[in-house]
Amino acid sequence: MTASTTAVATAQTLTSVNPATGAEIAEWPVHDEVAVADIVARARVAASVWRDLGIDGRRKALLRWNSYLVNHADELCELIHIENGKTTEDAFLELVLAVEHTDWAAKNAKKALAPEKVSPGMLMANFEAIIEQRPLGVVGVIGPWNYPIYTPNGSIAYALAAGNAVVFKPSEHTTSVGNYFADAFAKANPDLPLGIFTTVNGFGATGGALVKSGVDKIAFTGSTATGKRIAAVAAETLTPVVLECGGKDAAIVAEDANIAAAADAIAWSSMANSGQTCVGTERVYVVDTVADEFIAALKAKLSTVKPGSDAKATYGPMTMPSQIDVVRSHIADALEKGGRAVLGGLESIKAPFIEPVILVDVPEDSLAVAEETFGPTVTVRSVKSVDEAVELANASKYALASSVFSKGQGMEIARQLRAGATSVNSVLAFAAISGLPFGGVGDSGVGRIHGKYGIREFTRAHSIARQRFAIPGMELLSFSRKASTVAIIRRVIGLRHGRHK
Ligand code: NAD
């Protein structure tokens, strides 16, 4: 396996393994602080070439990268399958979404970054006022393992399209996939210098070194705990951050919902990728008149779902062994506090696989409702009204995304939810629509990726005020200003602002 970096790494290595079998996939040298600094310095040189290529040149390079990825889809999806554990079909869906985002960013950067003229206002009428967007320079992207290309690419593609170089630290659990992704960019663009999109490899310490390396922004996707640590370290150098953190997404099922469709969508959203989806449904609030019907439909659907690593598996193993203990503790806590398992239970844990678990009557202060489980479990609570559902959905410290099922009031309910995104009569739809910004509120994060907000997240606004002509006798920004000028302004300002009743 090749790495898109050429820097020296330390003697320490990390071994990437297949989570279903424990078989070794590859060994990667770990980059220490010195190696990270070296790679960031090279990226800084490459960044100016990439910036000077202009939006059209960058668009072509990004689309060539997409073609490379699509033309090597089988190889990449097999690598995602063996390193992350998800099925090759799910890996392919992830790849499709990633290339769609890159395509959008490449083709919409011109519009998103177009210079904008604004009115100079009455006092400055002799000026032209323009906002231009500049790339930041080098963006450090730190990624998780659950969607090893789609998730970090929400930062990578948009930062590249905005004219930045990117140094990417893939999760230690999906290092081979991360390096394949970056190598693909270099292979698709052999005429460009190395270092426009490159990787640093290692554990948390390598990510920490990237945060301290002097990059112009850190785009992090991962757990809330790590996000907070990164924000604290970045604050020391005032390095800006975008943080895409954990979630505890709720789905609301109203009385007028299409129950079969809601159960089908929620079954998939809560269990796909072994429930290791930041915007997967973890809590359901269903209005009591339709609760039994909904739970029966959800149970029927999930009874046919089976994890595994063979071609028949619906989803794969838990990627990270330690996450199995988290899931176990959440199920145990829910059952101890009076919750009931209507499908599965503790016996569903057959490491590294976990079969679907549906929990009902689980108190709101239990781990399975309050904390991110990140496994194939879902809690369902029957509520008296949609208002109660909204109140409980909004009570979480997390506020990443949500979904609403209702034939008549979907939009009305969606507008009351504290979340960065909501799907109405569907799940996760916002994540597949490139033009929609993506990001959380509260413990779910800061900032937005995707869409024009996602491109702007990786630029700085540069305001330019150009004096078109001088107005004799009206020098405001000068020691030559006359008392008579101020007297005129005093009168005009009185007329403009002093008469509101
Ligand atoms: P994690 O926080 O353990 O690790 C994420 C990345 O941070 C890894 O690359 C890791 O090596 C690095 N890291 C760890 N400590 C660090 C430190 N001190 N400084 C710098 N980097 C450090 O998260 P994970 O287990 O890989 O991912 C799962 C989490 O990611 C879940 O909470 C999930 O909800 C979240 N997630 C969020 C989104 C989103 O868009 N909001 C998307 C996917 C996953």
**DSSP string computed for 92-129:** HHHHHHHHHHHHHHHHHHHHHT--EEE---STTTTEEE
What pLDDT score was predicted for residue 475?
Answer: 83
CA angle, residues 392, 393, 394, in degrees to nearest 5: 90
What pLDDT score was predicted for residue 11?
Answer: 63
What pLDDT score was predicted for residue 10?
Answer: 54
Output the six-digit token pair for 154: 């929400």
User: What's the whole-model pTM score?
Assistant: 0.95
Q: Angle of helix 150-161 relative to helix 54-71, nearest 10 degrees?
A: 150
Q: 61 lies in a domain?
A: yes
Low-confidence ranges of the chain (pLDDT < 70): 1-11
- Residues 198 and 43 sit within 8 Å (Cβ to Cβ): yes
- Let me know whether 264 and 233 are in one domain: no
- Let me know whether 410 and 354 are in one domain: yes
What is the residue range of 492's domain?
A: 474-501
Question: Residue length, the chain?
Answer: 501
- Let me know whether 404 and 482 are in one domain: no
Q: 30 lies in a domain?
A: no
244 is catalytic: yes
The dihedral of CA 59, 146, 141, 371: what is its sign?
Answer: positive
- Let me know whether 423 and 279 are in one domain: yes
Eight-state DSSP code of residue 315: B
Q: Angle of helix 88-112 relative to helix 150-161, nearest 10 degrees?
A: 20
What CATH number does the domain containing 127 carry? 3.40.605.10
CA distances from 49 to 45, 46, 68, 165, 500 (A): 7, 5, 22, 9, 54
Give the span between the Cα atoms of 426 and 435, in whole angstroms: 18
Q: 2 lies in a domain?
A: no
Query: Which residues are within 8 A (CB) of 414 and not within 5 positions of it... i.e. 6 or more apart?
Result: 402, 404, 422, 424
Distance 327 CA to ligand 1 centre (A): 17
Other C-beta atoms closer than 10 Å to the C-beta of 133 total: 19
Q: 322 lies in a domain?
A: yes
Which of ligand 1's atoms lies nearest the C-alpha of 202?
Answer: 11
- Let me know whether 167 and 282 are in one domain: no
Give the span between the Cα atoms of 235 and 241, in whole angstroms: 9
- Let me know whether 420 and 316 are in one domain: yes
DSSP H or E run through 281: strand 281-287
Instruction: Point out the catalytic residue in the list 245, 278, 372, 457.
Output: 278
Query: Which residues are within 8 A (CB) of 56 and not within 5 positions of it... i.e. 6 or more apart?
Result: 110
Domain count for the chain: 3
- Let me know whether 270 and 322 are in one domain: yes
Distance of CA 240 to the CA centre of its chain: 16
- Let me know whether 240 and 254 are in one domain: no
Q: 354 lies in a domain?
A: yes
Instruction: Point out the catalytic residue in the list 244, 282, 355, 457.
Output: 244
Q: 326: left (phi > 0), else alpha (psi -120 to 50), else beta?
A: alpha
Q: 195 lies in a domain?
A: yes
Q: If you search the block for the tokens 């079998």, which residue do you land on?
A: 21
Q: 438 lies in a domain?
A: no
Identify the bridge partners of residue 441 per DSSP, sorted by sequence position: 399
- Residues 318 and 30 sit within 8 Å (Cβ to Cβ): no
Q: State pLDDT tens for residues 168-224.
A: 999 999 999 999 999 999 999 999 999 999 999 999 999 999 999 999 999 999 999
- Let me know whether 456 and 495 are in one domain: no
Q: If you search the block for the tokens 């399975």, which residue do you land on?
A: 368
What pLDDT score was predicted for residue 473?
Answer: 79
Give the span between the Cα atoms of 142 and 31, in whole angstroms: 14
Distance 229 CA to ligand 1 centre (A): 11
- Let me know whether 77 and 195 are in one domain: yes
Give the span between the Cα atoms of 135 and 163, in whole angstroms: 5
Eight-state DSSP code of residue 193: P
Distance 351 CA to ligand 1 centre (A): 22
Other C-beta atoms closer than 10 Å to the C-beta of 338 total: 10
278 is catalytic: yes
DSSP H or E run through 185: helix 175-188
Q: What are the start-end ranges of the H helices in 314-470? A: 321-336, 367-370, 386-393, 410-414, 451-456
Phi then psi for 24, rounded to 5 degrees?
-75, 135
Give the span between the Cα atoms of 287 and 387, in whole angstroms: 10
- Let me know whether 356 and 237 are in one domain: no
- Where does ligand 1 bind, in terms of residues with CB under 6 Å? 142-147, 151, 169, 171-172, 203-204, 207-208, 211, 221-223, 226, 229-230, 244-247, 278, 372, 374, 400, 440, 445
Q: 441 lies in a domain?
A: no
- Let me know whether 426 and 281 are in one domain: yes
Give the span between the Cα atoms of 159 and 62, in whole angstroms: 11
Distance 97 CA to ligand 1 centre (A): 20
With the most atoms of ligand 1 within 8 angstroms of its CB, the residue from 30, 167, 226 to mutate is 226
Output the six-digit token pair for 227: 């996000």
